[in-house]
């Protein structure tokens, strides 16, 4: 087990024999590190934190620290991280709170760039990218293949849909639907994430259906409730369009509006 002699590893930590720990890193009690996990110099992993195989933690990252929540009183909450994630320098990910279900969860194959932050009780899917200084407030959900540009801020209890992209500096206070691009303060929608859809292997027919559905939902001026019913009926054979509709219908904070359309009528 290649552990640098200056590293501090609590006897209560559980480490796979293949784990690598760099100089002056700190591994606390309750931490579980899977096969081939690498922890860089001066990084800190604390609390009940479970990290899957192949994850790399770069120098000065702080993983599994107490949630930044005044209501937190030292309860035994968790951070669960999947396989093959990358946490770059000074990135942070906090454990959950009892009020939020007790757990922060991160999937597989994600990239968290320098100074990015995942707050308490967040759920991050797989294959996501948080660029430099992107920050998630508490209880945020980021679905698979989402991309958050540098300096993006996501409000508490907000959702970012699958394959969505948020441009650098975006301040997001409402849900960003799947397959869309959002940008600005407060963030507005700028159409579909065509590049992301193509990269993730979606067919031309799917992209066309999503483009038409987006236009009907956000550009026609039809009351949203009626537009959702119409789109669901017309595109009943498109799983992606139905996913978009279901996401909007389940929103509690409301969804971002299109930059090229007036706010949709209520109802």
Q: Are residues 99 and 211 in the same domain?
A: no
Indicate the average pLDDT of the chain.
95
Residue 64 annotated as catalytic: no
What's the mean pLDDT in 216-239? 96
In a domain? residue 123: yes
Classify the phi-psi angles of 12: left when phi > 0, otherwise alpha if psi is within -120 to 50, otherwise beta: alpha
What's the mean pLDDT in 91-109? 96
List 120, 144, 155, 175, catalytic entry = 120
pLDDT tens track for 101-119: 999 999 999 999 999 999 9
Q: Are residues 212 and 99 in the same domain?
A: no
Flag the least confident range among 189-198, 206-215, 227-236, 258-267.
258-267
Residue 138 annotated as catalytic: yes
In a domain? residue 263: no
Residue 121 annotated as catalytic: yes
List 28, 54, 108, 121, catalytic entry = 121
Q: Are 92 and 109 in contact (CB under 8 A)?
A: no
pLDDT at 1: 60
Residue 165 CA to residue 183 CA, distance in Å, equals: 9
pLDDT tens track for 8-38: 999 999 999 999 999 999 999 999 999 999 9
List 28, 138, 161, 196, catalytic entry = 138
pLDDT at 99: 87
Q: Domain containing 85 — which CATH number? A: 2.160.10.10
For 242, the domain range is 198-249
From the list 194, 195, 153, 192, the residue with the least C-alpha distance to 174 is: 153
Residue identified by tokens 């279900």 is 101
From the list 51, 39, 47, the residue with the least C-alpha distance to 80 is: 51
In a domain? residue 74: yes
Report helix angle 224-234 to 204-218, nearest 10. Answer: 160
Question: Quick check: helix, strand or coil at residue 182?
Answer: strand
Q: Is the pLDDT of residue 100 over 70?
A: yes
**Which has more confidence, 193 or 259?**
193
Q: Are residues 121 and 206 in the same domain?
A: no
What's the mean pLDDT in 159-188? 98
Residue 49 CA to residue 47 CA, distance in Å, equals: 6
Q: Count structural domains, the chain.
A: 2
β-bridge mates for residue 258, sequence order: 189
């Amino acid at each position: 087990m290649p552990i640098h002699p200056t590293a501090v590893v609590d006897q209560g930590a559980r480490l796979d024999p293949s784990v690598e720990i760099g100089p002056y890193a700190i591994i606390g009690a309750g931490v579980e590190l899977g096969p081939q996990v690498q922890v860089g110099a001066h990084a800190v992993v604390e609390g009940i934190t479970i990290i899957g195989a192949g994850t790399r933690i770069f120098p000065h990252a702080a993983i599994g620290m107490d949630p930044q929540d005044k209501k937190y009183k030292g309860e035994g909450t968790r951070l669960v991280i999947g396989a093959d994630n990358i946490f770059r320098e000074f990135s942070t990910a906090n454990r959950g709170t009892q009020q939020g279900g007790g757990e922060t969860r991160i999937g597989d194959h994600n990239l968290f760039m320098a100074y990015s932050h995942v707050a308490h009780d967040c759920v991050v899917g797989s294959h996501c990218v948080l660029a430099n200084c992107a920050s998630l407030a508490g209880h945020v959900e980021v679905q698979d293949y989402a991309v958050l540009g540098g300096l993006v801020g996501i409000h508490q209890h907000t959702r970012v849909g699958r394959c969505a992209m948020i441009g650098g500096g975006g301040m997001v206070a409402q849900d960003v639907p799947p397959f869309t691009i959002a940008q600005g303060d407060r963030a507005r929608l700028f159409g579909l994430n065509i590049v992301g859809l193509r990269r993730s292997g979606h067919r031309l027919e799917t992209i066309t259906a999503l483009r038409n559905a987006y236009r009907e939902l956000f550009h026609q001026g039809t009351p949203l409730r009626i537009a959702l019913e119409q789109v669901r009926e017309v595109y009943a054979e498109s799983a992606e369009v139905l996913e978009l509709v279901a996401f909007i219908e389940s929103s509690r904070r409301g969804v971002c509006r299109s930059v090229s359309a007036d706010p949709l009528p209520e109802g």
